[in-house]
Structure 1
Amino acid sequence: MRASLGVTAGQASWAFSVFTCTFLALSGVTGKLADRHGPRPLLAAGGLLIAAGLALTAAAGHIAQAVLGYVAVGVGVSCVYVPAVANVGAWFVRHRVHAIGIAVTGIGVGTIVGPIVTAALVEAIGWRRSELWLGIAVLLVLLACARATPVAARDDRAVVVWPVRHLAGDCMFRLLYASGFAMGLVLYVPFVFVAPMAVQSGATAIRAAALISVIGFASTAARILFGLVAGRCGVVTAYKATIVAIWASFLILIPARSFPGLLAFALLFGAGYGGNIALMPAMLGHYYGVNSLGTVTGAMLTSAGVGALLGAPLFGLIVGASGGYLLPTAVTFAIVTIGSIGQVLLPRRHPASSLS
């Protein structure tokens, strides 16, 4: 895409940042809609929006059009992720943590398989036609899911326990939200910069790119592993363990200037990141109940929206200004430390509720 549109890496990175920001920022809206109407209409809408966005990007003659296409993809993904996860959380009672963990392993599998399939398609038919075929595949799969997904029984008379206005006044949720914003500033930085860091350390381009797959492998395995830990130790304890793993990985990243060091970072970061994704909905369900799980999960994800938009570009600016990675990695470690404190200190139960 960069070669075809004649843009720099920094300009091209906005497509990723805008997509991620859009997905996270709109999750509060789609989560609330899922609580009211169930996941099926949102899954169908998500398939249509993702396909349309990829088609628009495939026809792009300018980077602005490609970015607009990925805005549409972000809206589509926001219609898929939270509604699907909230439905799983509401469907399962005894094994909720395990069910959500297994369900979201699909993200990890996609992270592993997607780049391989996409690379093969691009080599065979070019990136524009690849975008079109990927959009068609997503559309067909999500329409099938919209038709086949069993919907958790809901009481139409039930009042959402935690609407957004109540969450905004809840001290614990405000702490979680502030922590989520700080974490959002750094969580997506590795996906953009770990490969360039490896290349600068002397690794080949293939080995450097493989670090992203390592994150995907570790993330996939951790979603199930931390689910098992949650079954034994409780979801709050397991969730805190994922935060500690993320924090420790950024501590490793500061001095990491060789491929083995970056590999260790990728493994630990992937494990913490994957476990965190798997356990966050279950953790929120533990504190706020499942009647409003879509609303609460969606609202929480919006906290990382601005961070996801600004994190990678800001990291790139610091790299350019400092001429290396020592200062940027130290700054990210300081930010992740701030974001981790509030989540590590979470109480066992919500102080103002008996929800479980």
Structure 2
Amino acid sequence: MVVDGGWGWMITLSAFVHSFLVDGICFTFGTFLEHFLKYFGGSNGKTQLLSSMISGTYLSMGLVSGALTDRFGCRRLAIVGLIVASVGLFLSTFSPNLDVMILLYGIVSGAGFGLVYTPSVVIVGHYFNKRRALATGIAVCGSGIGGFVFAPLSVLLIETYAWKGALWILSAIVLNGVIFAAFYRPLPSPPNTSAFASSTDTEIDLRDNSRCKQLVFAFKQTFNLTLLKSPTFALYSFSGFLVCTGFYIPFNFLPVFASDLNLSAREGAILISVMGIFNTVSRVLVGLLTDQSWANCILINSTMLFIGGIATCFVPICTTYAILIAYAALFGTTVGTFVALKSIILVELKGDKWLSKTLGLVNFMISISVFIGSPVAGALSDLTESYDAAFYFAGGTIGLAGLMCFPLRYIARWEHDRSPQDDETKEPRLTSMRTVHM
């Protein structure tokens, strides 16, 4: 049963709030960075593990949260996830050293957010059919709005209550997300259905209720590395890996870079807010643009990544606040474009029959790059004693990713001409686990 309205809009609002909370916390790590460096006395590289762990863990949790959602339901899993994330943030303020902080803030809170995000996306799909794209779009827009709101809020809280008090309040705000998770009322499911199988595309017996087998099935789906034999998919996957290696670096380093230019903490937070709002707006506008028959989504993606990467390399010579604001708007548009076009490009390159498999593997590779990117940028900053190297590194990886995408359409055409059955008639043997858009 699909509602396509009514209580479904309350579900959409709740999913929006959860997206707002999850990415709002993750995107505004940069406002805390300077305080973490001073308090724990760690290097930039190690301190950046806090950001990479919380973001990477929440993304990589998609590997198991789909199976857990099927086992326990969207409402229960989201409630547990919010409680875990809130407790992790709260307890992290009592950390005696950076290692414990990484465990509590990065891994525990990240795991909690990972448990929230998947059911929030999944349940919207349960309640909508004809309006599913609209409802999902509204729900994931909470991501950019979260960055827009939480950045200045975090600075205000830090100025008023110090970083520990700020995290206490943020953990309480996250805990209030439980109220919205309670609205995730499940719809009755048709008999003999599974989140991981359908009667037309899997060899698994649907009457087998073994959750362990379903979980193993989900892992087999995600780690179906035979997809990497496709030159088109391998190239786009590596491009996505490079993009997300640099994805969080400007979010994390721009506030401290602004501080070195003698800008206030609030001005640094506004830069994050600008990135957040342009991230949101660009997702909507790019979606509308690519619906036009003349639009070339691969060219749009490639151009924006290349321009965003080059602009990031030039951040070290930006000496005025106005120029930094312009860069923040451009970078927010760049990442919003990448996220909005990811599934669209995969459909164009490999066909919609392969979307669930390709998107699952791409998201897994992205989660690995998120673990790597910020700590490497921090280590480079330690070696050079300057934040410039972090922006060169981020800009280089994102710009290179854009360059790699330009010939994708031609490579896809060559691959299709060589073996057309791979794209049109060959059905994937495994169905998808539930995946989460970054």
Q: Is the counterpart of residue 272 in structure 1 residue 334 in structure 2?
A: yes
Q: Displacement of 1:251 after TM fit?
A: 0.8
Is this contact kept in 1: 2:253–2:387, CA < 8 A? Answer: no
Residue 338 of structure 2 is aligned to residue 303 of structure 1: no
Structure 1 position 118 matched with structure 2 position 154: yes
Q: Quick check: 247-256 or 90-99, which moved more?
A: 90-99
> Relative to 1, partners in 2 of residues 1:189 and 1:246: Cα closer, same or farther, differing over 3 Å?
same
Residues paired across the two proteins, number? 353
Match for residue 6 of structure 1 among 40, 46, 69: 40
Structure-2 separation of matches of 1:49 and 1:192: 24
Q: 1:58 to 1:246 in 2, by over 3 A?
A: same
CA separation of 1:330 and 1:218: change in aligned 2, threshold 3 A: same
| 3-state SS of paired residue (2:58) | helix
Read off the aligned partner of 2:401 and give its amino acid letter: G
One-letter code aligned to 1:209: A
Aligned to 2:256: 196
Aligned to 2:59: 24
Distance 2:234 2:346 in 1: 13
Residue aligning to 1:352: 423
1:58 corresponds to which residue? 93
What residue in structure 2 maps to residue 228 of structure 1? Answer: 288
2:270 counterpart residue number: 210
Q: Deviations over 1:209-266 (max 9, x none)?
A: 32111111211211221222233349x9447524532321121232341234433321
- Note if 1:101 corresponds to 2:140: no
State the AA in 2 paired with 1:164.
Q
Matched residue, 1:244: 303
Taking the TM superposition and a 5 Å limit, the aligned residue runs for 1:333-348 are 333-341=395-403, 343-344=405-406, 345=408, 347=412
TM-score normalised by length of structure 1:
0.81
Q: Which residue of 2 aligns with 1:134?
A: 170
Q: Which amino acid aligns with 2:60?
A: A
Residue 263 of structure 1: aligned partner:
325
Measure the CA separation in 1 of the matches of 2:223 and 2:361: 11
For normalisation by structure 2, the TM-score amounts to 0.68
User: In percent, how many aligned pairs have the same letter?
Assistant: 24
Which amino acid letter does the alignment assign opposite residue 6 of structure 1?
F
SS of 2:292's equivalent in the other structure is: helix
* Counterpart residue type for residue 311 of structure 2: I
Gapped regions of structure 2 (runs ≥ 5)? 1-34, 203-217, 428-438
Superposition deviation, residue 186 in structure 1: 0.9
Question: What stretches of structure 1 of length at least 5 have no aligned partner?
Answer: none
**Residue identity matched to 1:55:** F
Note the aligned Cα RMSD (angstroms). 3.7
The aligned counterpart of 2:109 is 73
Name the SS of the counterpart of 1:337 in structure 2.
Answer: helix
Question: Structure 1 stretch 116-125 or stretch 306-315: which is displaced more?
Answer: 116-125
Q: Tell whether the 8 Å contact from 1:56 to 1:69 is kept in structure 2 after alignment.
A: yes
Q: 1:314 aligns with which of 376, 381, 395?
A: 376
